[in-house]
Amino acid sequence: MSELVGTNVELEVTNVAHGGVAVARLDGRVVFVADSLPGETVLARISSADHKSFWRAEAIEVIEPSAHRRPHVWESASIDRDPDRRAGGAEFGHIELGWQRELKRQVLVDSLQRFAKLDTPLAAEVIVEAVEGDDAANGLGWRTRVSLHVDDQGIVGPYAARSHRVVAVPDLPLATQPVEYAAPLDERVFGADRIDVISDGKRGARVVLHRPEAVDHAGESAAGRGGRGPGKGREGGRGGAAISPGAASSRGSGRSAKSGGNAARSNGADSDGYFSDDNAPRKAASGGYPPNGPAQSRASIPSYTPAPPKPGKQIVERVGEREFRLEELGFWQVHHGAARTLTAALQQQLLPELFDPAAANLDLYGGVGLLAGALADRFGTKLRIESVESDWRATANAEFNLRDVTGATAVTARVDRYLADRVRGVTAAERAALARASVILDPPRAGAGKQVVGQLLDLAPAQIAYVACDPVAFARDLALFREGGYELRNLRAFDLFPHTHHVEALGVLTRG
C-alpha cells in the first residue's frame, strides 16, 4: 500500500490511543492520526501504510474541531506547518490542558482494563493530577532538561515528530527559562550531533555538546537515563556572536521575553533526547530551516566546533530539606516539580501499617536515592533500605545522598541479577525480613518485566510501591503481580509532562 503514502483523506476521529495519537477508521481499517483529538473531523495525510492492522496519518486541516482544541502552545508544532516541519515533543499542545489530563486518564484506565483485567472503582475513578503551578503557567516552562539535535548543515533543533529530521525552532516554550535561554537555537554547530541543555540545579543551565563518535560512559540508570559532561560558564542573551569552544562568552541582545541566566557549554557523552524518544519510526535525517525560515542565509548563523569530551561536573538538586548530588547528565526528573510531587505521593501512599523500618526494604532502579530519601524523611533515618542501581556513578551518589540514613546501603547491579542472587541465596531469616519489607519499584519505560516481577513474587514483600512512566508497561506488570497473588491497594496519576502524552502513575500493591 505504499502508493497511498502522501494521500489526503477525510477522517472522523473517535477516541484516543496510547502514544499521543487519536483513532479513526478508513474503510474499516484503523488509522492512528497525529495532531487531532476525539470528536473531530480532519483532513489527514497518510504517512505510513505498510502495517497489516493499521495505518498512520498526520492531520493537516481541521474540518470540524473539538470544543477542546486550542491554538498550539508551540507555533513550531502547529497544524499550520507541514507535518515534515512540525517539531516533536509537544504532541498534546493543541489540546486544552485539563482535557489533556482526561485523555491521559482514559489511556491509563483502558490499559488497566485491557492488560491487567482491572475493572474496579480504584482503577476506573483515578484522576490525573496537575503539578502545583502548572495550571497557572498553562503547562509551560517545566522542562529542566532538553535534548536537541544537529543536522549535517549545523542547524540545531528538535526532531520533527516521528522522524530523524532536525527542525529549526526559535523557542522552547516547555523548557524552564534558563534552559530555553541557554539553548543555542540561533547558532550553527559542527562536530556534534546532539546537544543537551540541563538545569544546573540553581538558576542557570549547562549546554553539553555530544560528538558523533562519543561513547556513553555515564548512563546513570536504566534505558533513557543519561550521561554527563562539563563546561565553562557564560552569561548574557542569545544574539549574533560566535562561540569559541571551551571558553566563556558574553552573548548580547537576547529575545526581549527572556531574562538572563548562567549557562555552561561543555562536551559530554551520550544520553537520550526527550524530544525524540517517541518519534518512531525513524527516517533518514535531512536539513531543517533556520529560525526565521528558509529564506535566511545559513551563512548568517553563528557557528562553532566542539572541543573533545571532558569529564563531567556534578549537579545538586534539593527536595524539601534533602539535597541530592548527581552527574551532570545523570537521570533526574525532567519536570521541575516532579521530584517533589513523587516524594510527597510516595510518603502518602505507602501503607504505614505494613511498613517495618527494620525489614529488608529495597529501592529498585534507585538512581541517586530520591525515593529512598523520601522514605527516610517519612519513617526516620534509622531506616534499613538498600538502593539497587546499574550505574556505579549513580550508586556512589546515592550512597553520598543517603549518608545520614544509618541503615542505608547502595549496590551497583542490574536489578534482575541482584534479585536472582537474593532468591538463590536467601536464608530463612532473610526471607522473613523480606516478607516484612516495602519495595520501591521504579523501572524504565519498558517496565519491570516478567523476570523481575517473578523474582519479587518469590521474595513476597509486604508491599510494593510501583512508580510507572508508561501505562501499558505498568498494566502488563500489574497483570503478572495479580496472577502471583498481589492486588492494587491505591493508585494515583500525575501530569508530569504537560502538552505531551506521557503520564506518571504510582500504585501500591499488597499480598492478597
Which class for 263: exposed (0-12), middle (13-18), buried (19 or more C-beta within 10 A)?
buried
Give the model's confidence band at 1: pLDDT under 50 very low, under 70 low, under 90 confident, else very high. low
Q: Is residue 5's pLDDT more than 70?
A: yes
User: What's the N-to-C CA distance of the chain in angstroms?
Assistant: 50
**What would the grid cell of residue 434 be?**
523480606
Residue that the C-alpha cell 515534515 belongs to: 84
The reply to whether the predicted model has a pTM over 0.85 is no
Going by C-alpha positions, the residue among 128, 157, 162, 168 that lies closest to residue 33 is: 162
> What is the C-alpha to C-alpha distance for residues 245 and 271, in angstroms, rounded to an integer?
21
Q: Rg of the Cα trace of the chain?
A: 23
Q: Please report the sign of the dihedral spanned by the C-alpha atoms of residue 242, residue 245, residue 247, residue 248.
A: positive
Q: What is the pLDDT of residues 78-90, one digit of tens each?
A: 999 999 999 999 9
Q: What is the pLDDT of residues 250-259, one digit of tens each?
A: 233 233 333 3
Going by C-alpha positions, the residue among 34, 23, 32 that lies closest to residue 51 is: 32
Q: Is residue 7's pLDDT more than 60?
A: yes
Contact 326, 319 (CB under 8 A): no
Q: How many residues does the chain have?
A: 512
Give 133's DSSP letter. Answer: T
Q: Detail the DSSP E strand segments found in 443-503.
A: 463-468, 486-495
Beta-sheet pairing, 194-199 with 128-130 = unpaired
Give the model's confidence band at 366: pLDDT under 50 very low, under 70 low, under 90 confident, else very high. very high
Q: Give, in order, the Cα–Cα distances in Å from 90 to each of 21, 43, 237, 253, 303.
A: 12, 20, 25, 28, 28
Amino acid 463: pLDDT: 98
Q: Is residue 286's pLDDT more than 50?
A: no
**What would the grid cell of residue 339 be?**
521530584
Going by C-alpha positions, the residue among 121, 128, 122 that lies closest to residue 105 is: 128
Our separate counts of H helices and E strands in the chain read 10, 25
> What is the C-alpha to C-alpha distance for residues 490 and 467, in angstroms, rounded to an integer?
12
Mean per-residue pLDDT, 92-106: 98
Which parts are annotated binding residues? 333, 365, 389, 442
Amino acid 399: pLDDT: 97
Give the model's confidence band at 317: pLDDT under 50 very low, under 70 low, under 90 confident, else very high. very high
Catalytic residues: 469
Amino acid 333: pLDDT: 96
> What is the C-alpha to C-alpha distance for residues 149 and 231, in angstroms, rounded to an integer?
19
> What is the C-alpha to C-alpha distance for residues 80 and 82, in angstroms, rounded to an integer?
7
Q: What are the residue boundaries of the structural domains of the chain, listed by start?
A: 2-69, 143-316, 317-511
Q: Is residue 437's pLDDT more than 60?
A: yes
Contact 29, 20 (CB under 8 A): no
* CATH annotation of 2-69: 2.40.50.140
Residue that the C-alpha cell 500489574 belongs to: 478
Our measurement of the distance from residue 279's CA atom to the centroid of its chain's CA atoms, rounded to an integer in Å, reads 13
The CATH architecture that domain 317-511 belongs to is 3-Layer(aba) Sandwich (3.40)
Share of the chain above pLDDT 70, in %: 80
Our measurement of the distance from residue 325's CA atom to the centroid of its chain's CA atoms, rounded to an integer in Å, reads 20
Which parts are annotated binding residues for S-adenosyl-L-methionine? 333, 365, 389, 442
Amino acid 218: pLDDT: 40
> What is the C-alpha to C-alpha distance for residues 85 and 288, in angstroms, rounded to an integer?
8
Mean per-residue pLDDT, 221-239: 31
Give the model's confidence band at 4: pLDDT under 50 very low, under 70 low, under 90 confident, else very high. confident
The DSSP secondary structure of 292-303, one letter per residue, reads T-TTS-GGGS-E
> What is the C-alpha to C-alpha distance for residues 329 and 496, in angstroms, rounded to an integer?
19
